[in-house]
Structure 1
Amino acid sequence: MGDLYGKTALVTGSSRGIGRGIAQRLAQDGAVVAVHYGSNEGAAKETVEGIRDNGGRAFLIGAELGVPGDAEALFDSFDAGLATAGAEPGLDILVNNAAISLPGHIGEVTTEEFDRTIAINTKAPFFIIQHGLRRMRDGGRIVNISSAVTSTAFPSTIAYGLSKGAIDTLTRTLAKDVGDRGITVNTVAPGFIETDMNAAMRSTPEAHAALAAISVFNRLGRPADVADVVAFLASDDSRWITGQRIDVTGGSML
């Protein structure tokens, strides 16, 4: 697309995996990208360096999510990073990607695990959006990363599914609330994406084949499969789409 020049984007959890792919694609299309990390600073630096090596513009911001004051800390780092990068104050594209997935059926999830899942996956995006809207220019874009688990039943990740279902609801409601500013709000729901975080789940040829067979294309998803859809939603081409949940699962479980 290459039509994001002059735009500033913030992608949470973009040190690796899907978030890294999104940050790389937005930078490729011309945006100045704030690469956020919670704990893995080294991987985040690799993301920034890779973007710069390919002619893009990016800067690093670190902030732990799921703790008191996380949104404030995130945007303090963002504002400082903008100045360092020589970018204009303000925000055009916000991608809420950072999340955790702790396994467990309803009888196995502890109070601590539940609270942490909700704090990072649901509460943090809510208040990041709240603070981000104070900086976002009219006509901005908010993209929330959800999951295939909100459209089908995965009892073994019940807390994760609940946290992402709330994000789907937030997207619809927020889209109506900010529409008068020309801001669009959409959700992207990936299926199984091949990243280093889930390498153990596909460590054998049999496991890899079983996961690939979930998609009608008989392959695993790649970060770029999600990033390309996010890039479309971040562009002006998507200006008449808001409040939607976009299934990016490769036709999984049709």
Structure 2
Amino acid sequence: MTPDALSLAGKVAIVTGSGRENGIGAAIAIALSRNGAAVVINYVSESSEARAAGVAKTIQAAGGQAIVVKASVSTPEGANHLVQETLKRFKTDHIDILGKPMGVSLNNAGAGLVGSTLETTKEGIDLTFGVNVYGTIFLVQAVVPHMPRGGRIINISSVASKLGLDFLPIYGASKAALDSLSYTWAKEFGRSRGITVNSVAPGPVDTDIARAADPAGAGGNLLVGMTRAEERVGKTEDIADVVLLLASEKSRWITGQFVSASGGITGQ
């Protein structure tokens, strides 16, 4: 008897914010590719261009298919550009998997992302919701018309949406909005189109963005003290493997869920 496998052969996946080799997005792209999906590596800033190319080369060197597309999904035009480039360059008419780990970097304290509500600027609110909420909506609007039955939308949330962290009020609120959209979309796109939608919520994960945002490790140490699986921060591979499961056929009866990929920091 042949053992079951999480095969994604013949699937096309877009993974936003996957242009940093040690980031969650890159780990997700590599995991999906390793299991057979053709993957789009997406990045936004010029500073990530070489790193995004490096992620694609890593996938290609292992025998996978990957292309690189620069696009900001914080506008409808950017989201549509990403989708159209995917269809054109992979010569396909379908996109099967949408993984959206890209979010506002927490190290942008100058925009009011880290700090109390009373200190938060309009710039910070616009930036946070523009990427985490508006960007997700725009991308879903662009992708879903090209997504067949059995499609998967996997939004990367955060345990901050449930914990009420007083140093991340706006960021946590934007992720809570994302959780609500995921639950609603599960019904909106599930019954009519056969698409599953879930949110995956990491706790602290060891990436260069996380280290820059919290150089003293205070926030990470606080949350590590709440883990149950092990006393450590998460690895990008920990999150990628959860996404891989949700992207596979084995997850066909899992939808509308908040999946805490945090080592047990929160289960709801």
Shared fold, TM over 0.5: yes
Partner of 1:111: 122
Cα distance, 1:33 vs. partner? 0.4
Q: Does 1:220 align with 2:233?
A: yes
Query: Match of 2:24, SS?
Result: helix
More deviation in 24-33 or 57-66? 57-66
Q: Aligned partner of 2:35: which letter?
A: D
More deviation in 225-234 or 215-224? 215-224
Distance 1:165 1:206 in 2: 23
The sequence identity of aligned pairs, in percent, is 38
Partner of 1:37: 43
Contact 1:66 1:116 in 2 (8 A): no
Cα distance, 1:24 vs. partner? 0.3
Report Cα offsets for 1:200-220 as digits up to 9, x if no partner.
Answer: 467569997666434221111
Distance 2:246 2:217 in 1: 35
Partner of 1:94: 98
Q: Does 1:174 align with 2:178?
A: no
In structure 2, runs of 5+ residues without a counterpart are 107-112
Q: Does 1:12 align with 2:16?
A: yes
Distance 1:47 1:247 in 2: 26
Contact 1:141 1:185 in 2 (8 A): yes
Distance 2:164 2:211 in 1: 23
Q: How many residues align?
A: 250
Q: Does 1:26 align with 2:26?
A: no
Cα distance, 1:238 vs. partner? 0.4
Q: Aligned partner of 2:85: which letter?
A: S
Contact 1:66 1:119 in 2 (8 A): yes
Q: Structure 1's 168 and 206: CA in aligned 2 closer, same or farther, altered over 3 A?
A: closer
Q: Aligned partner of 1:29: which letter?
A: N
Partner of 2:205: 193
Distance 2:19 2:120 in 1: 27
Contact 2:15 2:100 in 1 (8 A): yes
Query: Match of 1:118, SS?
Result: helix
Distance 1:65 1:208 in 2: 28
Contact 2:72 2:79 in 1 (8 A): no
Partner of 1:244: 257
Cα distance, 1:67 vs. partner? 3.9
Distance 2:168 2:216 in 1: 22
Partner of 2:88: 80
Q: Aligned partner of 1:55: which letter?
A: G
Partner of 1:161: 172
Report Cα offsets for 1:36-84 as digits up to 9, x if no partner.
Answer: 111111111111011111111111111023246222222233233323x
Q: Aligned partner of 1:196: which letter?
A: D
Q: Aligned partner of 1:222: which letter?
A: K
Q: Aligned partner of 1:192: which letter?
A: P
In structure 1, runs of 5+ residues without a counterpart are none
Q: What is the TM-score normalised by the length of structure 2? A: 0.87
Distance 1:55 1:2 in 2: 17
Q: What is the TM-score normalised by the length of structure 1? A: 0.92
Distance 2:216 2:131 in 1: 31
Contact 1:5 1:31 in 2 (8 A): yes
Contact 2:184 2:256 in 1 (8 A): yes
Q: Does 1:137 align with 2:148?
A: yes
Distance 1:54 1:22 in 2: 15
Report Cα offsets for 1:208-239 as digits up to 9, x if no partner.
Answer: 76664342211110000000000000000000
